[in-house]
Amino acid sequence: MNRTIRWVCWKCNYKWVQPVEKCVYCKGKTEKEIGRKLKVIGFTNVKVQSVMHPIVPYNIILLEDEHGNRMPKKTLKEYKIGDSYEVVPSKDEHAVSITKIKYDFDEAVDEALWLIGGIDVDKSKRILIKPSIMASSYPYLGAVTNPKVVSGLIDYLVLRGAAPENIVVAEQCLYNKMDDALGKSGFGELCKEKGVRFVDIQKSDFEEIQVGQMKVKVSTLVKENDLIINVPVLKTHLIFGIAGALENMSRFVSVENLMQIQVLAQSKAIDMNEAIVQLGKALPKYITLGDGSVGMQGNGPLNGEPAFLNYLLASRDCVSHDAVFAALGMFVRKPKFLEIAEKEGLGIAHIDKIPVVGNELNAVSKEIKPATGSLLIKGM
């Protein structure tokens, strides 16, 4: 986070760094105290590598806000005591924000989106949220999007004027019954609690569109809504290397077409990397909020192991989003589809051309186990 947060009981004059809704002493309601005017009051330099901090040397600076609250911050930049520490949003359409998650998902979502310019909504705007619920799995295993991230996103949208009845959460489950996946992932309960609709993409209407040299059926949900917010869980992937923005949106394609694409790829008739880029070009523009609270490493997207990344990514450029995730994971091989996507004009893939805001990329990077082997799946 690039702001300090405290939960305060003004009556008892106590503060907590973790979410405490009621004071443990007087049982009264607490209030959030947020600080943005930060200054450096201390620092230390670290030269020893560790698993969590592979890039050295780096600095740990101690920041103090206008309320006297303090927090540590990792940075590769040099600061002196008394320096101001300020993070400002980027107006660049290719910018990617990196936001560390502390205790409060709502605040993390708010900051991640604020850093890329925020989202303008009103009560008439129809909004489609696309998480990853491709299998029946618990969020702590890293295979599905954490519902706490989507909960924070819905709160963000409603607070800015969106009507819950105009918000739709949509996904198709490729491996299990959708009802089972909704129950295990927590999304069934979340949609009920927030008063938003869930739509099974498999049961939606489809229309045939041209994707590269193929004709595929794509859910009409993508054109029936005014705003699409893609919320993939950040994972490794046995076919693409990583599963992020582009991979998650592929599930707007019918299951039959996804299976057809896989068969053609196995026979070398098409390239899966090329196919996912062409699909990305055919879909409407969207915002991506990448869930790295608990991602997946190893043999993702289903059989890997949890990767405790503890960050969110946000971007209006799906390619830049995936390129930053690939860089954060320190993968030896860059995913092939990123280079294809940049050549096709879908977005920016070269990390040195992408404006990164919030946390510094090299301050957050750590090695993620890559996917190895091959995968036969129902869809992409």
Q: What is the pLDDT of residues 241-274, one digit of tens each?
A: 999 999 999 999 999 999 888 888 888 888 999 9
- Side-chain half-sphere CA neighbours of 69 within 13 A: 19
pTM: 0.96
Please give the Cα distance from 353 to 136 (Å, whole number).
38
Q: What is the DSSP letter of 161?
A: T
In Å, how far are 1, 44, 46, 111, 137 from 230, measured between CA atoms? 22, 38, 37, 17, 19
Give the chain's residues under pLDDT 50. 377-380
**Spatial CB neighbours of 115, under 8 Å, sequence gap ≥ 6:** 87, 89, 90, 95, 97, 99, 314, 357, 358
- For the chain, residues classed under CATH 3.40.50.11440 are 96-364
pLDDT in tens, 7-26: 999 999 999 999 999 999 99
What is the bridge-based pairing of β-strands 167-171 and 127-131?
A: parallel
What is the phi/psi pair of residue 290, to 5°?
A: -80, 125
3-state class of 244 per DSSP? coil
Q: What pLDDT does 269 receive?
A: 87
Q: What pLDDT does 380 receive?
A: 39
Q: How many CB atoms lie within 10 A of CB 338?
A: 27
CATH class of 96-364: alpha beta
Look at the block and give the residue holding tokens 């911050």. 73
Look at the block and give the residue holding tokens 């949208």. 157
Q: What pLDDT does 276 receive?
A: 96
